[in-house]
Amino acid sequence: MPRTLQVSTANAAYQRVEVLERNRTKRHRYGEFVVEGVRAINGALAAGWTIRAFVYPRGRPLSRWASSILEGSDAESHFEMDPSLFETLSDKEEPSELLAVVEMRPDSVDRLLVRSGMVVVVVDRPASPGNLGTLVRSCDAFGASGVIVTGHGVDLYDPATIRASVGSFFAVPCIVLPSHREIAAWAEVVRRSYRALRVVGTDEGGTRPLRAYEWPSEAVIVVGNETSGLSHAYRELCDDIVSIPMTGTASSLNAAVATSIVLYEVASRRTSIQNEGQTETAGNC
């Protein structure tokens, strides 16, 4: 049974939630992050993430959804917060009626879905939490098996990242690894079971146009930093580097858009191959 705490001042309970919203270092020290919004909270619950606390404004009527969440909650704490304090914790123009404090999961490659046909996206040094969240959403939409973030970029657990993913953060395994070295070691292990696996970089200077590339049955797609592109280390790691042909004046796309295009192309190519196979099988009957 959750303990319900009345929060009327900027006390320790308020400060704990506030620091999780604003401070990356404290977020990781405590192993917690803040989730806001109906789809995001529903996603966390559906995927079985541990909710440590729910926060909501005291005295305001709650929707049937919020009331049912609180009634079925097995969180450690419920914070009934002064409405003016609660509003300072939300980055939305219209604050949500619930915030959830969620326990982080381990950054382990064991969480990735290693399987036949897998596509894992590696994002190196992402520059924008909004773009990273949108990228995660695209990975969910196109059936990626996981997302790995490397390098000194924005925080995967930034509230803006979680919010931009619109719940997809909890549907796709997302982990953080230090660098390309860990990617190389993991890919070597995966190749013992899936020998066709290739590491494919995406870069405007890629030697292979996206549409002309023959995608392998299993792939790790590497997306570089939006300003500097793929690092030298990742260029060395990649088996192939593909580019997205563009005809306008823009020389590059942001990471989320580029990843969406690549994933769509992979999905389309595989669907086309499957359809061709089914047609041939039907013709031989």
* Domains located in the chain, CATH noted: 3-103 (3.30.1330.30), 109-277 (3.40.1280.10)
pLDDT band, residue 20 (cuts 50/70/90): very high
285: pLDDT strictly greater than 60: no
Give the pLDDT score at 178. 96
Give the pLDDT score at 281. 52
215-242 average pLDDT score: 93
Tokens (6 digits) for 203:
């870069």
> Per mean pLDDT, which of 68-82, 238-252, 266-280 is the most reliable?
68-82
What pLDDT, in 10s, does the model give residues 140-175? Answer: 999 999 999 999 999 999 999 999 999 999 999 999
How many angstroms separate the CA atoms of 269 and 275, rounded? Answer: 10
How many angstroms separate the CA atoms of 245 and 212, rounded? Answer: 11
How many angstroms separate the CA atoms of 164 and 40, rounded? Answer: 10
How many angstroms separate the CA atoms of 220 and 238, rounded? Answer: 9
Question: For 138, what's the count of Cα atoms within 13 Å in the CB-facing half-sphere?
Answer: 22
For residue 35, give the nearest of 153, 160, 128 by alpha carbon.
160
pTM confidence score: 0.90
Beta-strand runs (E) in the chain: 3-7, 32-36, 51-57, 77-81, 99-103, 119-124, 146-150, 174-177, 198-202, 208-209, 219-223, 240-243
Tokens (6 digits) for 130:
């909004």
Give the pLDDT score at 269. 81
118: pLDDT strictly greater than 80: yes
